[in-house]
Structure 1
Amino acid sequence: MIPDATAEIKAMAVDGLEHPSTKPVLTGAAIGIVAGLIVPVGPVLGGLAGAGVALYKRLRP
């Protein structure tokens, strides 16, 4: 799964918002930031967790 995630992240970096995975991952990060503010883990950790979950769901639906 790590090689798949690496390739997906590189493709997202090259294609920007045109890549089909970028918007769902950014949405997951935004949801994670809000959740991180509610639960005492902080917005940074929440954003990373949200982006990670969204990327995982894109790779393994």
Structure 2
Amino acid sequence: MAKPKIETLLGDTVEEIKAMGKEGLDHPSTKPVLIGGGIGAVAGAVLPVISWPVGLLAGAAIALYNRVRP
């Protein structure tokens, strides 16, 4: 029986975050996620609806999702 998609997505994301934590900037996902967080923070600072911390989290989450599920 196949695993539901949400379980595999969550598991893959957790493994990717663990690998990024262990390897630091040497991991291929670290730089794109940091750049995504930076872009999100700038967007959050410019947009009146959200603040920069929310933008930072959203940008990093989107970049991480794109790395885990291209």
- With structure 1 as the length reference, what TM-score do the two structures score? 0.97
Segments of 5+ residues of structure 2 without an aligned counterpart are 1-8
* Equivalent of residue 7 in structure 1, options 3, 15, 31: 15
| Match of residue 43 from structure 2 | 35
Structure having the higher Rg? 2
Separation in 2, partners of 1:30, 1:16: 17
Separation in 1, partners of 2:16, 2:22: 10
Separation in 2, partners of 1:5, 1:59: 6
Separation in 2, partners of 1:30, 1:11: 21
| Match of residue 54 from structure 1 | 63
Percent identity between the two aligned chains = 56
Which amino acid letter does the alignment assign opposite residue 63 of structure 2? Answer: A
Deviation (angstroms), 1:47: 0.2
Segments of 5+ residues of structure 1 without an aligned counterpart are none
- With structure 2 as the length reference, what TM-score do the two structures score? 0.85
Deviation (angstroms), 1:44: 0.4
Separation in 1, partners of 2:18, 2:54: 22
Separation in 1, partners of 2:43, 2:17: 23
- How large is the RMSD of aligned CA atoms in angstroms? 0.5
